[in-house]
Amino acid sequence: METKILSGKEVSSSVYTSIQPAIDKLKSNNIIPGLAVILVGDNPASTVYVNNKSKKFKALGLLSQTIKLSDSITQDEIISKIKQLNEDNRYHGILVQLPLPKHIDKELIINTISPEKDVDGFHPYNVGCLTSGKPKFIPCTPKGIMRILEHYNIDLSGKHTVVIGRSNIVGRPISILTSMKEQYSNSTTTLCHSGTNDIFKHTQIADVIILALGSPKYLTNKNVKAGAVIIDVGINRISDSPEKEDKLVGDADYKSLIGHAGAITPVPGGVGPMTIAMLVENTIEAAKRLTNSSL
């Protein structure tokens, strides 16, 4: 069986092409979509993610500022900074890079961001809108997954989708999106997690499997029916030996699934590029709303 490679690089390139006219129109009206990113501490992975986001914004001629804060900063100081950004008209989107240090209440920090600038889609207001079927800002990674499916004309209607992982960042929102009564969605969705007995019992009958659990090469061809679609959100660093550099692998055993799965996203180059593309798209949408623009 030939396995279709679902390239996030290809899809994200298409997204940037499609949103360029909106960017140009906003700029012609002296509106430059702006994103403020708060980065607390020096987590290497977070630093890489933030740098990649900043590079893409700057490449598109958009405003991006990273506010780096010490991991010893107090919760009240972060909240004060967010409140300043809420009132700063230069920034249409605010993002607090996760994870945060243990002494910081993540929920309180997210709740401080104005829902109208919450381009990550994590504020309770935006979560509620998504849950009710009328989303305002959709979290970037789940939104990117749905865009990949749409780009490759993979319609979930009538299919059985299994999501592994129940985080508020990926698992829960993608389980909602895949089951909505919308085009390319409308599937029967099963949400599996650490409390699920025999997860592979579910994956073996699934038409589509979305992995977001952070366990390298967890899913193999033995756990998947032939022709299933695999969306791999996992990013895991592993090393074959102390002498070699770490390499990135997903939650799926990519090599074993080639020739068995109907389609699969690679790691890297699959879902990752789409997360940044959707962040750009959400920021542009925020700029339109906050400036009352119908562009």
CATH of the domain at 257: 3.40.50.720
Whether residues 146 and 263 fall in one domain: yes
- Residue 188 has which token pair? 């029967």
Whether residues 149 and 35 fall in one domain: no
Q: Which domain holds residue 87?
A: 29-114
Whether residues 151 and 260 fall in one domain: yes
For position 240, what pLDDT does the model report?
67
Whether residues 84 and 149 fall in one domain: no
Number of domains in the chain: 2
Total residue length of the chain: 295
Distance CA 280, CA 231 (A): 21
For the entire predicted model, the pTM comes to 0.95
For position 158, what pLDDT does the model report?
97
For position 241, what pLDDT does the model report?
55
For position 111, what pLDDT does the model report?
98
Q: Which stretch of DSSP H or E encloses residue 255? A: helix 254-257
For position 98, what pLDDT does the model report?
93
For position 43, what pLDDT does the model report?
86
Whether residues 167 and 243 fall in one domain: yes
For position 292, what pLDDT does the model report?
85
Taking 50 as the pLDDT cut, the residues of the chain under it are none
Closest of 84, 1, 104 to residue 36, by C-alpha: 84
Whether residues 88 and 189 fall in one domain: no
Question: Helix, strand or coil for residue 191?
Answer: strand
- Contact between 97 and 46 under an 8 Å Cβ cutoff? The reply is yes
CATH number of the domain at 83, please.
3.40.50.10860
Residues annotated as catalytic (active site), given as ranges: 53, 97, 120
Per the listing, tokens 């598109």 go with 60
Task: Tell me which DSSP letter residue 155 carries.
Answer: -
